[in-house]
Every structure is written in structure tokens, then in C-alpha cells.
């Protein structure tokens, strides 16, 4: 049994932008990225805006194919925990939770049994039959988080979702995430919140303009990143 969950070697990804009829320009979002994720560990990805964090998460989730490089994955079921999961605004929160759960890999019957749990966690019992178009952005975010959190996966990819909802919900969401992380779940976690990264992650990869600037223990890398940010300002 390999202890490695994910292995990335020299992963490069470019976005192609159309400038005119025949002219295109390219933007390199990831440039020679290499790192490993061991089973059961939580790896944080930090970096400024446009550093390639979300793109990297999509590469790890098999959503984007890189232009070059090598990715090896020993996880059967990868889930990206992000908000809104393509909600249909005309459907109720309950219907959206059901379809969201199925799309995240659950069987219909199994998800149906968990819908009440999802709605309760999102604190949307009273509005569960209303169309999602009547929800505030916070309500939608809570529902998206609850759906994703209720489903199971070998590798969990989390993109900036712990800042969801009000203060009380954030605490609840953080506690739920912590309990999941502590139960041997392999997690790759993208966030701007350095405090949360230090608290949740074993290791951190610092991205800068699509390249790995540094990687190592969470405390050391976050400290180095903070110093760099202070020097910039």
C-alpha cells in the first residue's frame, strides 16, 4: 500500500487567451510545480492572488489537464469542496442538495437519507423548500458547504470555503472540518487565512506566480510568507 496520495512533478499549465481572430496569447498559471501529498496529511497551499492556487487545486482534482508534467494519484475518490456546486436557482434547496450530493459521488438513496442532515447543518430548515434564487449568498454558501461536507472522499480539496456565513456558522464549519481532518482524511487546503492554515495543516506549499517558492512545515513557511508580505508593505 503506497503511503503517498498524490505526486506532482514539473506540472505546467497555460491558459490560452484569444486576442483576435487568429491571435492568441498564453498565460502560465502553473510553472514546474512539484510536491507530494502523503495519505492522512493536510497540505496547505498559500500565495497571493493569481499565484495559481485554485488552478492547482483543479489540476489535483483531475478537472484540468496540465500542458506538461506528471501527476500520479493513489486516491479513488477525489472531491473538491467548493461553494455553490452549480446550483439551479429555480430549484429548492432540498432538490439542489440532493443533486449536489449525487454529483459528489453518493448514490441517490443514500444522499436522500442525508439531505435532512445537510439542510440542518446549513441551518436552512425553514427555507429548504424555497427556490435557491431567493437565498442570500451566505445561505447558498452554507448549503454548498454542508452538501460537500456530508459526502465522503479519499482526498478532499478545499478552496477558500471556511469563511462561509456568519461568525457562528464559521465556528461550526471550522469544527466540522477539524473533525474530518483529524479522522485520517487526506486534505489539500487553499486559503488566504494564515491562522487557519497554521492551525489545520501539517505542511504548506507557498506558490508565487505559478511556481513553488517554498515548501515545508506549516509554521516555518507561514512565518516566511508573513515576513515577505511585511517587507512588501
Partner 1 sequence: MKFSTLNDAFWLKLWFSLKSEAAKNYLNYVWWLLEPALHVAVFYFVFGLIFQRGGEGFIAFLLCGQIPYLWFSRTVNNAAGSILGGRGLIQQMAIPTAFFPAVVVGKDALKQTVVFAVLLLFLATQGAQPSWMWLTLPAVVFTQLLLVTGGALLVAAVTPFVPDVRFLIQAGMMMLLFASGIFYDYSELLSEQQQSFFLMNPVANLIVSYRNVLLHGDWPNWPGLFWISMLSGACIMGMLIFYRRAAPVYARLVVE
CB of 77 to partner 1, least distance (A): 9
Give how far Cα 44 sits from Cα of 35, 53, 201, 215, Å.
12, 10, 6, 10
Could you tell me which of 164, 153, 192 has the C-alpha nearest to residue 51? 192
How far apart are the C-alpha atoms of 96 and 81, rounded to whole Å? 15
Site for partner 1 in 202-231 (CB under 8 A): none
Regarding 73 and contact with partner 1 (CB under 8 A), the answer is: no
Residue 78 found at the interface with partner 1 (CB under 8 A): yes
Q: Which of residues 79-108 bind partner 1 (CB under 8 A)?
A: 79-80, 82, 84-88, 90-91, 95, 98-99, 102-108
Least CB distance to partner 1 at residue 53 (A): 14
Task: Determine the straight-line distance between the first and last CA of the chain, rounded to whole angstroms.
Answer: 47
Helices (H), the chain: 53-60, 93-103, 108-121, 137-150, 167-182, 194-200, 218-232
Stretch that binds partner 1, among 10-18, 116-124, 164-172, 195-203 (CB under 8 A): 10-18
Footprint of partner 1 on 11-30 (CB under 8 A)? 13, 15-18
Nearer to partner 1, 87 or 225 (CB): 87
Q: Cβ 108 to partner 1, closest distance in Å? A: 4
Return the residues of window 114-143 that contact partner 1 according to CB under 8 A: 131
Amino acid at each position: 500500500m503506497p503511503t503517498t496520495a498524490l505526486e506532482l512533478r514539473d506540472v505546467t499549465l497555460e491558459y490560452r487567451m484569444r486576442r483576435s481572430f487568429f491571435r492568441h496569447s498564453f498565460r502560465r498559471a502553473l510553472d514546474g510545480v512539484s510536491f507530494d501529498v502523503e495519505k492522512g496529511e493536510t497540505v496547505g497551499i498559500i500565495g497571493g492572488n493569481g499565484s495559481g492556487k485554485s488552478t492547482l487545486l483543479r489540476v489535483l482534482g483531475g478537472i484540468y489537464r496540465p500542458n506538461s508534467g506528471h501527476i500520479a494519484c493513489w486516491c479513488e475518490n477525489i472531491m473538491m469542496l467548493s461553494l455553490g456546486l452549480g446550483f439551479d436557482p429555480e430549484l429548492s434547496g432540498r432538490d439542489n442538495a440532493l443533486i449536489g450530493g449525487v454529483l459528489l459521488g453518493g448514490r441517490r438513496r443514500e444522499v436522500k437519507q442525508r439531505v435532512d442532515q445537510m439542510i440542518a447543518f446549513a441551518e436552512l430548515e425553514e427555507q429548504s423548500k424555497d427556490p435557491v434564487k431567493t437565498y442570500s449568498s451566505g445561505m447558498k454558501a452554507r448549503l454548498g458547504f454542508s452538501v460537500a461536507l456530508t459526502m465522503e472522499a479519499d482526498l478532499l480539496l478545499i478552496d477558500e470555503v471556511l469563511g462561509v456565513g456568519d461568525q457562528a456558522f464559521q465556528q461550526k464549519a471550522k469544527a466540522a472540518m477539524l473533525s474530518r481532518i483529524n479522522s485520517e482524511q487526506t486534505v489539500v487546503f487553499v486559503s488566504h487565512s494564515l491562522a487557519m492554515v497554521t492551525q489545520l495543516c501539517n505542511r504548506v506549499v507557498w506558490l508565487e506566480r505559478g511556481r513553488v517558492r517554498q515548501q515545508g512545515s506549516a509554521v516555518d513557511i507561514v512565518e516566511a510568507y508573513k515576513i515577505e508580505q511585511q517587507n512588501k508593505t
